[in-house]
Structure 1
Amino acid sequence: MSQPWLAESSHDQVVTDVLQGVRALSDAMDRMHSGMKGDMEMNSTDLAALRMLIVREGRGEAVSPHEVASHLRISTASTTKLLDRLTRSGHIERRPHPSDGRARIVVLTDESRSTFFRHFGERLRVMRGVAARYDEEELAVIARFLAELSDALDPR
């Protein structure tokens, strides 16, 4: 069986190398998340919800239960069960929306944030160390590439 994408030029080969690197990174991230899931004694959907909340919190964005459902691509009934489970385990709180009194938002508890970074902190330190080897221009290109690739795979 032949390869679906054969490099016909040096540029094609570099594109292939980059995409193989993305695949290797994806595999490494899967293994990291699997380990964190075990360390934090939660399933993959619970961990994905916490990761989403960490990212959105870092951007200063409030998160509604509907946004959790949409991000995870699960039903509202499944989202309710997930949020109930994360509330009972002390990972999240449901609070009134700051500007819409009828709506609720989902926020991490201080303990959950601390636990998440305790498990993820060393990995984050290592990733920052790798990124620090590149200058600002290179990092800008890498960031743009990753954002464009993410958008291409998940256009929302």
Structure 2
Amino acid sequence: MKKFVYSLEAVMNYKQQVLEAVKEEYAKRLEKVAAKNQEIENMKQRQQSLAEAFDEVKHSGAEIERFLMYSELIAKLQREIEYQYKLLAELEEKAEEKKIEVVEAHIDLNKYIRLRERKLQEYKHEVQKDEEAFIEEFVANASSRKILDH
């Protein structure tokens, strides 16, 4: 009997490539989320150090211009942090969309894998039936020859 050939092997390989590509895109999006989180954390630390410096200026007494400068810098940084949080939410949403694509691509590939496994089992069953039929025929022929020889 001929060797097992899965007729949808090329399609299954293509689906595997699609899955790998989508996984890579998802990983890149997760990296962007992590980078944005780090950027926000750095901005928060900068804001904290500005607030501490502002407290020192308050206690030491300084001109009103310095008070206003610190106050404005801290407020501007707070607005920037809020804006970066919005960008982070967008990045997380895009990453979640890509995660859904990964799951869908995985499900799609698994359909072809399960179909291949089922076809392989059917093939093995047919091979076994053919071998059993061959053995039965061989035994029957051997028995016939013995009867004819006697």
Q: Does TM, normalized by the shorter one, top 0.5?
A: no
Give the structure with the larger strand fraction.
1
Instruction: Give TM-score scaled by structure 2 length.
Output: 0.28
State the structure with bigger RCO (CA 8 A, min sep 6), 1 or 2.
2
| Larger of the two Rg values belongs to structure | 2
